[in-house]
Amino acid sequence: MSRLSERPGEVIDRTRPMDFSWNGKPYRGYAGDSIASALAASGVRVFSRSFKYHRPRGILTASFHDPNLMVQVGDEPNVRAGHRLVEEKMEVSAQNAWPSLGFDAKGVNRLLGRFLTPGFYYKTFMSPRSLWPWYQRVLARFAAGGVVGVDPQPGRYDHRYAHPDVLVAGGGPAGMAAAIDAAEAGAAVILVEEEHRLGGHLRWGDSDDLGALEELSAAVLSHPGIEVMVDSVVTGRYDHNWVAIAQRGVEGVDERLVKARVKCLVVATGTIERPYVFEGNDLPGVMLSTAVRRLINLHAVRPGERAVVLSANGPGDSAIADLEEAGVEVAEVIDARGDDTVIKASGRMGVQGVIDSRGRRHDADLLVTAVGWTTTTTLLNMAGDRPMYEPRAARYLSKSLPYDVLATGGIVGDGSTDQLVQHGTAIGREAARRASVVKFQWLTAVPTGVTRQPPDTSEIEVPPLEAERHPELFRSSTHGFVDYSEDVTSKDLFAAAAEGYDSMELAKRYTTVNMGPIQGKLEAVNAVAIHGEATGSSPLETSTTTWRPPYAPVSLGVLAGRQYEPVRYSVIQPWHERREAKPLVAGSWIRPEHYGDPVAEVTAVREAVGIIDVSPLGKIDLRGRDVPKLLEFVYVNKWSKLDVGKVRYGIMCNEDGVIFDDGVTGRLGADQYMMSSTSGGAAGVWNWLDDWLQTGFPDWDVKMTAVTDGYASINVAGPNSRELVGRLTEIDLRPEAFGYMEVRTGVVAGVPGCFLWRIGFTGELSYEIHVPSAYGLWVWERLLEKGEDLGVRAFGIEAQRIMRLEKGHFIVGQDTDGLTQGHGMGVDWAIKLDKPDFAGKPELMWQAERDDYRRLAAIQTEDPAIVPPEASQIVAGDVIKGRITSSRMSPTLGRSICLGQVDPDLAAPGSRLHIRLSDGVTVAARVLEHHAHFDPEGTRLRG
Amino acid sequence: MNQKARFSAWGLFKRGLTRSHWPRVWDHHELRDSYDVVIVGGGVHGLATAYYLARNHGITNVAVVEKSYIGSGGSGRNTAIVRSNYLTPEGSKFYDRSVELYEHLAADLNFNVMFEQRGHMTLAHSDSSLRTMRWRAEVNKLQGIDSSVIGPEEIKSLAPFLDTSDHPRYPILGALWHPPGGIVRHDAVVWGYARAAAALGVHIHQGTELTGIEVESGRVAVAQTSRGDIATSTIVNCTAGWASLVAKMAGVRLPIITRPLQAAVTEPVRQFLHPVVVSGSLHTYVSQTARGELVFGASVDPFASYSTRGSLEFATGLATHVLELMPAISKMRMLRQWAGLCDMTPDFGPIIGPTPVDGFYVDVGWGTYGFKAGPVAGESVAEMVANGRPGSLIEPFGLERFHAGTLTAEKGAAAVGH
Ligand SMILES: Cc1cc2nc3c(=O)[nH]c(=O)nc-3n(C[C@H](O)[C@H](O)[C@H](O)COP(=O)(O)OP(=O)(O)OC[C@H]3O[C@@H](n4cnc5c(N)ncnc54)[C@H](O)[C@@H]3O)c2cc1C
């Protein structure tokens, strides 16, 4: 092949050469060249080796959807060389060839082809079983595709939202016309085109086509109402016209995902030319008519020297003219509209000869086929359409579309450029009108009090666009490749049918036809037709093809967009960082685990005073008359008589009686409550309450506001806590004025709007101060400053966990699991089965009648120095009798302490247990009387 | 199976030489007026049950009725992960038997189901999930199952593409490592069972929908299908996502909600990921097939639906999570996404056993994790149908547990579907 002199419609810029490499050797193309056209212009014929038989493959469609043109570009695998433009210094290499494209060692598979029948791997490699891992490694080596590296250049990706009135997918004549007229009618339009330029098939057409293209694209590009995205693909149409576009060529990023809520979608994605199945149809040099027209007219590349053309349609005939003009000798034209056809193409690394159905052999290095079109119905399928096969036109046509989706262009029918434009124009106007109807529906779906003018409801008349008659041509009398990327032949489809895989779905799965990176775009219709031939049925008429998203493969990078996972920090985080707190991931929060010495932190709290940042605690402000009813319902305990100023501990269970959260709720005012939940459970509790209020009790007067981030929360704990807090507030802290389990509101360190509750997870006298978050850090620092002489020290989660374990308080999710119901956790006193109703009550009533559930128990090992790791199993012989849920070395007691879940027969105080450590050794332990290892009476807390 | 039909390398060679076709894997049959057992659902559970009924119990007058083609349900849509590192003793014992059956399935069925024991790795991103991993490992060890907790270094050496560097949000702190876990070719399992069952005389009726069940004085009497009525005393419901609809035909209410589960696959690339990698916190798991594609799965959609359409949110969320784990693969492309239906029970345990209607058995509630259980469930259900009562392996999974309050505790271990 070689470069032709200038073509009227060429897209290359001959003044800008591009130097790149192919398999390590230097090549030159021009700006505007695809990788494939640049290589073809330099005489490259073989671009890849096929997946299974390692057959040489060359240009077939010269477009994005060319199965033979998948290459590696730098660290990017599976790049479509028929689409991607060459760039300076690009490093391109062939995939799937070893050691080289010219000599491929795995090509021996070609000879073995007759033994590698479909599903051959299901039939062998079974014995001896010991060899199976070895077979696996051999099979794995045959995996197709490019390579990914451990440390590639990171790609840059982004997301954008768009809200167009009309989105047109496909920038051919019909699509462009639709965009223009929709925009003229006032709609905000986005026009998306997969290729690098607008125009569709007009681009490689004659001078009339080029003229029309010029006019249309100028109108599109200059229209202020149209945003044009080229080199961009509509990858999917999801429910409610939620449309995804993978956009390339945006400044600053490699790719961008545009998510558009479209009022009316116009699908103008046209048709794709279909290959023909015959012996040798995959040889380099067998090309579709659109491929040669692209090569000649867009890239000025002569696709061969001597051609045979098999044509069944007008565009195929035009290819003949193009070839002649490009100086290709057209040795023979076989008119497929009659009885003639191609039987075989022969050659080793490319076409050398063609045998036709009259038995004549033609010398040729190029065989061009034009045997029909496949409609690109993916987006229609996704809109719920089930396109039907129309034998007269030999292609699938749209059957029924939802109101907000329209189709135009080749996907609907055929016609002259004028007819296509007329159809597109009408569809564009109709799309704009429907968009306004949809918009009206959206705007009036919510009561706003604004009166709106209903839009015009008279449909625009759309001129018919008939699909032309076209002969049904799928396969010649010989067998050839149906699916190039999967190396599936028509013979394989016959074999599959004969073996009993006689429905298309089974045949597809068995042979893997349609399963490759081309997603069936080229081969699906041939596959169905040949399967029908093999089974003696006519499945084309009865089947529809379901194309699953995405329309074209889309990078994980662009789907993800900017890679970030939000994390949450408390407002006191700057201080934690200065003190080099060890970060701990707790759900979405990053919290201080400790500040270097958790044991010293414990000692400070037990002997003096400590402060901990508990801002992540879930906080929900509840107001309204019916809050008590809500509390009564979601908590298992009694809530009706909670006086203002009081706080109560509560447990929540799911409908199945399983504990899912605990926390305290305080009554701040007559109709105002503050609920707290665990940090990890905050979102779940919120959803739970909201669910019940919306579905169970919509008439209750309860207003909820999530205020977790609104308050910074600081727990001040230890014998000196009253003294310390007293130095910062006027609130009367005397025990008789502010008792245990009470709440007060007031000013702390000059900050108004704080509330304090006297509770304690650590077992020490403590005050939990909730400060409007902007002042959290301020109050924290004041506490440290004012408490210096009191021995104040910040403590982290680890110290808190040790202390709560010393006190025997359980943590939901750690000491409970997905089946832990209310009873058995030492809180039976709280479960009020005599309440009329509450979430989980029926299951808890069942549970109360049984005795077979595990109990939470405080456990101490007989050897005080051994701390059994959490999750160690409690065993009797080999039988599991429970597990250690929490364990630590207690600095206060100087011994190991545990909480665990144990079977009822071992739960009684004093029971002797055996704990199996991870190395298999068992240690003896004992169940305590109380859950608390330390201060079971709680004298310190209430002091 | 007669000798001519047996698959082997020799057979492939001979047929390659003579270019002759293999005999049919299964035949089309007229519907008989009556069958001893009618199995509803041509997925792995239904077909395995049919096979073991015929092979282990000599019950061959069996029909499998499938409304579409075999494997059209979850069995042809799942991500084919097989493992036995479950959390409860009853769970791990059950699945361990399944892994054992899978290990010998190819030879047993004379159909290579391509069971690749690549190892199964569940990542822990927080100390609480690390604790759960330890819990599972400890339970597994006591059951004799190969399962342990490994640290970041070993993780990196097993799966170099995982980003074990310092992450703020999802650090990789450790993993539960289960070497016998792996992936299997789902279609091959379905076809292997169908072919072996057919060879023993079972009728597989594709394109045949169960439309009603006639119950006479508390007993199953007639299975009504789209191709006619079948007199039978035994119906086994193996319809997964449609299970509650079929049970309703017999007047049985199941505590099941059907929810979609989505999955996706990328274009193939050369092998780079050997083990199956799961992240519960990121609701994602990934494996690379022998063909080179990455197969991704996630958690069930949070709503009840019978729709099998994929969503954009799934695709974007999935990609975000996968790249969090393996940032190096951002240039790989997603090729296809799809969804299947999952029959979810309140405790994430299956429901296997008799029902209040005599002769109406269920093997359902397989949710997001039932493919791996196909062989053992088939074996156990066949045994139950033959003996009239459930054996010890499946006893914990009876329908009555929802009344007795003895739920199984797999919620933790099965939270990300697979
Ligand atoms: C995306 C996804 C990923 C998964 N990943 C895994 C995994 O990695 N590992 C794992 O172990 N499990 C996984 N699962 C779960 C697994 O697929 C299912 O649990 C399993 O396939 C269930 O098999 P089955 O034979 O019971 O049901 P199915 O295979 O669903 O078969 C039920 C059949 O019943 C038929 N049917 C329904 N109603 C009727 C009727 N009225 N008459 C006749 N026929 C009827 C259906 O057409 C269907 O073919 C996954 C599921 C999904 C959706």
**Domain ranges within chain B, ordered by starting residue:** 27-79+186-256+347-414, 117-180+257-344
- Residue (of B171, B381, B180) closest to B282 by Cα position: B171
CB atoms within 10 A of CB B156: 15
Could you tell me what percentage of chain B is helix, strand and coil, using 3-state DSSP and rounding each to the nearest 5?
A: 35, 25, 45
Burial class of residue A784 in the structure, from the number of CB atoms within 10 Å of its CB (0-12 exposed, 13-18 middle, 19+ buried): middle
Cross-chain CB nearest to A499 (options B21, B112, B310)? B21
* Alpha helical stretches, state H, A555-660: 556-560, 573-578, 598-607, 627-634
Which uninterrupted H or E stretch holds A798?
helix A797-807
How much is the pLDDT for A629?
A: 96
- Provide the edge-to-edge strand list for the sheet that holds B37-40: B203-205, B62-65, B37-40, B235-237, B360-364, B351-354
Distance CA B341, CA B257 (A): 10
Residue B201 token pair: 């005389």
Distance CA B41, CA B223 (A): 13
The tally of CA atoms less than 13 A away on the side-chain side of residue A298 is 29
The topology (CATH level 3) of B27-79+186-256+347-414 is FAD/NAD(P)-binding domain (3.50.50)
Burial class of residue A939 in the structure, from the number of CB atoms within 10 Å of its CB (0-12 exposed, 13-18 middle, 19+ buried): exposed
List phi, psi (to 5°) of A11: -110, 5
| Region at A313 (left for phi over 0; alpha for psi -120 to 50; beta for the rest) | beta
List phi, psi (to 5°) of A488: -105, 130
Q: How far is the CA of A763 from the centre of ligand 1 (A)?
A: 52
Locate the chain A residue with the closest alpha carbon to B288: A140
Distance CA A631, CA A311 (A): 78
User: Greatest CA span in chain B, whole angstroms?
Assistant: 66
Residue A40 token pair: 């073809």
| SS3 at position A794 | strand
Is A23:A8 a contact under the CB 8 Å cutoff? no
How much is the pLDDT for A151?
A: 80
How much is the pLDDT for B167?
A: 76
- Residue (of A463, A461, A465) closest to A415 by Cα position: A465
Residue A667 token pair: 């009554």
- Residue (of B384, B71, B116, B402) closest to B252 by Cα position: B402
Distance CA A728, CA A316 (A): 89
How much is the pLDDT for B416?
A: 45
Beta-carbon contacts of A83 under 8 Å, excluding residues fewer than 6 positions away, are A34, A63, A64, A195
List phi, psi (to 5°) of A228: -100, 130
| SS3 at position A419 | helix
- DSSP for B54-73 reads HHHH----EEEE-SSSTT-S
| SS3 at position A358 | coil
Is A749:A779 a contact under the CB 8 Å cutoff? yes
Q: How far is the CA of B289 from the centre of ligand 1 (A)?
A: 20
- Residue (of A488, A407, A609) closest to A67 by Cα position: A488
State pLDDT tens for residues B159-172. 999 999 887 788 99
Structure ipTM: 0.94
Burial B363-386 (b: 16+ CB within 10 A, else e): bbbbbbbbbbbbbbbbbbbbbbbe
Q: Determine whether the interchain pair B112/A126 forms a contact, defined as Cβ–Cβ distance below 8 Å.
A: yes
Q: Find chain B residues with C-beta within 8 A of A115's C-beta.
A: 12-13, 16
State pLDDT tens for residues B296-335. 999 899 899 999 888 999 999 999 999 999 999 999 999 9
How much is the pLDDT for A542?
A: 65
Amino acid identity, position A37? S
Q: Looking at residue A655, what DSSP letter applies?
A: T
Bridge partners of residue A483, in order along the sequence: A488
Closest residue to atom 4 of ligand 1, CA basis: B78
What residue ranges line ligand 1, CB within 6 angstroms? B 40-46, 65-68, 72-75, 77-81, 209-210, 238-242, 246, 261, 263, 297, 340, 342, 366, 368-372, 417-418
Q: How far is the CA of B287 from the centre of ligand 1 (A)?
A: 20
Residue B8 token pair: 């082997």
| pTM for this model (two decimals) | 0.92
* Alpha helical stretches, state H, A827-920: 841-849
How much is the pLDDT for B413?
A: 46
How much is the pLDDT for A106?
A: 67
Residue A879 token pair: 């039988």
Q: How far is A688 from chain B (nearest CA, A)?
A: 14
- DSSP for B152-217 reads HHHHHHH-TTS--S--SSS---EEEEETT-EE--HHHHHHHHHHHHHHTT-EEETT--EEEEEEET
Which uninterrupted H or E stretch holds A757?
strand A751-757
Amino acid identity, position B155? I
Distance CA B349, CA B412 (A): 11
- Residue (of A518, A273, A262) closest to A383 by Cα position: A262
Residue A94 token pair: 């062939």
Is A374:A274 a contact under the CB 8 Å cutoff? yes
How much is the pLDDT for A939?
A: 86
Residue spans of chain A under pLDDT 50? none
Is A815:A885 a contact under the CB 8 Å cutoff? yes
Instruction: Tell me: cis bond preceding A173? Omega within 30 of 0 counts.
Output: no
Distance CA A724, CA A784 (A): 9
- Residue (of A407, A70, A436) closest to A234 by Cα position: A407
Is A405:A241 a contact under the CB 8 Å cutoff? yes
Question: CA dist A751 to A676, A711, A747, A769, Å?
Answer: 21, 12, 5, 11
Q: How far is the CA of B242 from the centre of ligand 1 (A)?
A: 9
* Gyration radius from chain A CA atoms: 37
Atom of ligand 1 nearest to the CA of B373: 11
Q: Which of B242, B284, B381 to mutate to test the pocket of ligand 1 (most atoms within 8 A of CB)?
A: B242
List phi, psi (to 5°) of B240: 45, -110
State pLDDT tens for residues B115-150. 999 999 999 998 888 999 999 999 899 989 999 999
Bridge partners of residue A800, in order along the sequence: none
Question: CA dist A214 to A9, A198, A203, A229, A895, Å?
Answer: 10, 10, 10, 17, 86
- Residue (of A920, A924, A844, A858) closest to A893 by Cα position: A858
Q: Determine whether the interchain pair A127/B160 forms a contact, defined as Cβ–Cβ distance below 8 Å.
A: no
Q: Which of B311, B366, B376, B379 to mutate to test the pocket of ligand 1 (most atoms within 8 A of CB)?
A: B366
Q: How far is B38 from chain A (nearest CA, A)?
A: 22
Beta-carbon contacts of A48 under 8 Å, excluding residues fewer than 6 positions away, are A56, A57, A68, A69, A70, A71, A94, A95, A96, A97, A101
Question: CA dist A352 to A43, A276, A280, A344, Å?
Answer: 16, 18, 11, 11
Distance CA B237, CA B226 (A): 16
The topology (CATH level 3) of B117-180+257-344 is D-Amino Acid Oxidase; Chain A, domain 2 (3.30.9)
Beta-carbon contacts of A416 under 8 Å, excluding residues fewer than 6 positions away, are none
How much is the pLDDT for A852?
A: 87
* Gyration radius from chain B CA atoms: 21
Atom of ligand 1 nearest to the CA of B238: 26
- Residue (of A768, A771, A764) closest to A725 by Cα position: A768
